[in-house]
Amino acid sequence: MRTTLPPTPPSLSARERILLSAHALFYRDGIRATGIDRVIVEAGVTKVTFYRHFPSKNDLILAFLAYRHQRWMAWFVDALQRHGQVVAALVPALAEWFGDDNFRGCAFINSVGELGGTLPEVVAIARRHKQDMVNVIAGLLAPSARRKKDAQAIALAVDGAIIRAQIDQSPDAALQALAWVLKSLQAGQ
């Protein structure tokens, strides 16, 4: 495992370097475990510069989650398109993510677990993220009266697969279970 992060390109603005460093550190090590001083060092900025862009750690956390949402949703939509733009595409798309050496589960689930009781905005952001995920999944399903409910159930199965892949040494069981849920759902239609 790498002990230091790759350097952020100096051509980026200070705000972008701070956000990219926080993104990598918060996702890899956890939000509470990552101090502002570590983000400042990794971003190569001064404390004054940091606080000019993010007056508090909470401001940085919210910016991290907004950035993560945009980045993850763009990847998710692209991966589903690459794998056929059908509900079964969820399995190979998630296999890509689960197979990444940097996979640490869902940043939104992890953030709610860490901060949901003390920073309610994290819960609100996570809900919006999960709703956007449901909307993308609904777009994979044929129009029907059950489309919204089916998309919500599939999203719940995806979240379960994410957590299982995070816990197990291999994501295989999580992916197999998700594939079974998707087949069962489609067979019941």
Q: What pLDDT digit, counting tens, does each position of 110-129 carry?
A: 999 999 999 999 999 999 99
Domain with CATH 1.10.357 in the chain: 61-187
What is the average per-residue pLDDT within 14-32? 97
pLDDT-derived band at 185 (thresholds 50, 70, 90) equals: confident
Q: Would you state the pLDDT for residue 173?
A: 96
What is the average per-residue pLDDT within 174-184? 95
Domain with CATH 1.10.10.60 in the chain: 1-55
Residues 6+ apart with CB under 8 A from 93: 76, 79, 80, 82, 83
Q: Do residues 154 and 182 touch, judged by C-beta distance below 8 A?
A: yes
Query: Measured at the alpha carbon of residue 155, what is the angle toward residues 154 and 160, in degrees to the nearest 5?
Result: 95
Query: 186 vs 79, 88, 140, 154, CA distance in Å?
Result: 21, 10, 12, 11
Both structure tokens of 97: 């993510």
Give the CA count within 13 Å in the CB-facing half-sphere of 87.
Answer: 28
User: Cβ of 183: how many Cβ atoms within 10 Å?
Assistant: 13
Nearest to 24 by CA among 3, 49, 45: 3
* Secondary structure string (H, E, C) spanning 46-111: CHHHHHHHCCCHHHHHHHHHHHHHHHHHHHHHHHHHHCCCCHHHHHHHHHHHHCCCCCCCCHHHHH
Q: Which CATH superfamily includes the segment(s) 1-55?
A: Homeodomain-like (1.10.10.60)
pLDDT-derived band at 8 (thresholds 50, 70, 90) equals: low
Let me know if 90 is exposed, middle or buried by CB neighbors in 10 A (0-12, 13-18, 19+).
buried
Q: Is the pLDDT of residue 189 over 90?
A: no
Could you give the percent of the chain with pLDDT greater than 70? 94
Mean pLDDT of the chain: 93
What architecture is the 61-187 domain classified under in CATH?
Orthogonal Bundle (1.10)
